Each structure stands twice: as C-alpha cells, then as structure tokens.
Amino acid sequence: MALLKDIVSKQKMGAKFVLSAPMLGLDLAAFDIQAAIWATHGGPGFEAAGVPFRKVIDGKFLIQRLTVVRV
C-alpha cells in the first residue's frame, strides 16, 4: 500500500490522524478487515488510538474510520 506509506510518512512522530476507506481507495468491507488487524496489532509506522468508528451496513458493523498515532 504505497498510498498508506505516503499518508503515514507525512505525519510527525506522536501525531494522531485518521485512516478511512476512501483515503486508501478501498471499499468498506476490505477496509474493515485491514483496520481490524491494525486496531489489534498496529500498522506500518502507527498504532491504533482509541475505538474504531463503525457504521452499520446490511446489519453488520464495519469499521469506517480508524484513529491512529504515528510511532
């Protein structure tokens, strides 16, 4: 995910920022899967900061936004 690397690299260490499906060019279902991994294990250069924001689609709660902190 080159786009993710670009977004993360623009942030200062310790900065909080939001990741979302549209920012990364993903559909909501694909983002939900990836964001769940990031929320648990962190991502390349960041860790989750707080509870993911979820949206109900077809009766399922999918992660729509994830607030993260640059490490």
What's the pLDDT score for residue 1? 60
Q: What is the mean pLDDT of residues 17-37?
A: 95
Q: Across residues 39-58, what is the average pLDDT?
A: 95
Q: Give the whole-angstrom CA distance, residue 36 versus residue 68.
A: 12
Asked if pLDDT for residue 2 goes beyond 80, the answer is no
Mean pLDDT over 41-57 rounds to 95
Q: Is 17 exposed, middle or buried, given 0-12, 13-18 or 19+ CB atoms closer than 10 A?
A: middle
Q: What's the whole-number mean pLDDT along residues 42-70?
A: 96
User: What pLDDT sits at residue 64?
Assistant: 96
What is the pLDDT at residue 34?
97
Tell me the whole-structure pTM to 2 decimals. Answer: 0.90
